[in-house]
Amino acid sequence: MALSGLEIYKLLPGSSKDPAEKAHGNCKECGFPTCLAFAMKLAAKQADLSSCKYVSEDAKAKLSAAAAPPIRLITLAADGREVKVGNETVLFRHEKTFYNPAGVFVRVLDTMPAAEITALAKAVADYKVDYVGMSLRVDGLAVECASGDPTAFALAVATVNAAAALPLILVSEDPKVLEAGAAKSSGSKPLLCAATAANWEAMAPVAKAAGAPLVVRAETLQGLAELTEKLVAAGVEDLVLDPAVRPFGASLAALTQLRRLALKKNFRPLGYPVIAFPYLGTAEPGMEMLLAGQQVAKYAGFVVLSKFEPAEVYPLLVLRANLFTDPQKPIQVEPGIYEINKPTAESPVLVTTNFSITYFAVANEMESSGQPAWLLVADAEGMSVLTAWAAGKFDAEKIAKAVKGTGVAEKINHRKVVIPGHVAVLMGELEEELAGWQIKVGPREAVDLPRFLKTAW
């Protein structure tokens, strides 16, 4: 049963009657001003017990339930690549942040020809797209037994492993099939899917022998809770929930209820990540990806796609990347001087902020134009040009400091710099900060930079 903040506080050094322990009370080393503040955060699942160096072993044992994350962390691994899901503490990312992005997997049927399995596995493994400085990739493959034959399934798993060292989900409700597949996954940690009310007793030893997490499947939340309690009692603690609902409305309702029960009610039998299968069996284009997007946002831990279409996967991965960035820490690039198209001493110097989207908008336009330039990126704490200017993070002093600090003057034989059109108001102040430099005001939009440099530089 979860402890309240005050109950937790009574077990921390700040309230101890032992002088040795009391001496460490309110030490602030945990990052909070008092033991009481730390206890309140611990009760709200917004802090880790490990942050307190001085809590006694006896207190640690009593606080284990309160310290445990409301949603268990599940890790899949293969050849150095890992997929971690769970450990989430909020319903909405603006409350704090989401930590572990939903794992995106692609289904492989064991009835497919070996050559087709190999080609699909390699295509998924090789897929990689750069997005504002981040590498977007599919996380793994879900091998599903459509044949019903353990031998055919084991062969399909072996074929996938030979083609691509990716984390795997093994899908079948037959314990013998999963046992055969797990035997071909030695050296990795797959996810076994799925235990049901009919087979859980046979599935438990398979998961324990493989050291693998296990999916629990039931059509009701009560059914899921009953199964997780039975499996935990049988020694299987790493679990993933499948509420066995597929349509848009039912999926949204089930996944939201599971998240709320875990976070708001601290209901341990449902405190596990969720797996979702967004294929609806409809021929209508795009519906699977729409449902997958909904499930990534609310609140799947694993999403298994029925097919691999790069043009459809890309927007899903972009959505995931945007959802799982810290809203209080914008995506940003390292401040400094960047070379575009092999600039020379005669090339222009363009100034912008270190907000990733701003940087890539400018860099991509310049690269595609073929015109060489020096791109001077000023530290604006990851804000866009106008936002940073309004917040006082991108002013004449900051720009001048960037010009002087990067040594760009040593790379050019002119003294001209182009500032974004949105901050033309800084021109006069910047001329004072950079004596001897000519300040030119560029266009407001990055797309107009190539034409501006051809006509106004």
Predicted confidence (pLDDT) per residue in 404-444, tens digit: 999 999 999 999 999 999 999 999 999 999 999 999 999 99
pLDDT tens, 331-375?
A: 889 999 999 999 999 999 999 999 999 999 999 999 999 999 999
**324 close to 316: Cβ distance less than 8 angstroms:** no
Residues of the chain with pLDDT under 70: 1-2, 45, 65-67, 282-283
Burial class (CB in 10 A: 0-12, 13-18, 19+), 69: middle
Q: What is the pLDDT of residue 96?
A: 83
Q: Residue 303's CB: how many other CB atoms inside 10 A? A: 25
For the chain, the structural domain boundaries read 5-67, 74-323, 336-456
Fold of the 5-67 domain: 3-methyladenine DNA Glycosylase II; Chain A, domain 3 (1.10.15)
Q: 336-456: which CATH architecture?
A: 3-Layer(aba) Sandwich (3.40)
Q: What is the reported pLDDT for 67?
A: 65
Element spanning 161, H or E: helix 150-163
Cis peptide leading into 299, omega within 30 of 0?
yes
Tokens 């790069």 belong to residue = 310
CA distance 63 to 68: 8
Give the model's pLDDT for residue 42.
82
Measure the CA–CA gap between 36 and 52, rounded to whole angstroms: 12
Largest CA distance in the chain: 81
The whole-number pLDDT of residue 45 equals: 67
Distance of alpha carbon 89 from alpha carbon 153, whole angstroms: 37
Q: Residue 333 in contact with residue 377, Cβ under 8 Å?
A: yes
> Which residue type is seen at 167?
P
Full-model pTM = 0.81
Q: Look up residue 382 and give its amino acid.
A: G
Q: Which helix (H) or strand (E) holds 233?
A: helix 221-233
Write down the pLDDT at residue 421: 96
CB atoms within 10 A of CB 164: 21
Query: Hey, what CATH topology would domain 74-323 get?
Result: TIM Barrel (3.20.20)
Supply the pLDDT for residue 65.
Answer: 64
Which pLDDT value is given to residue 66? 63
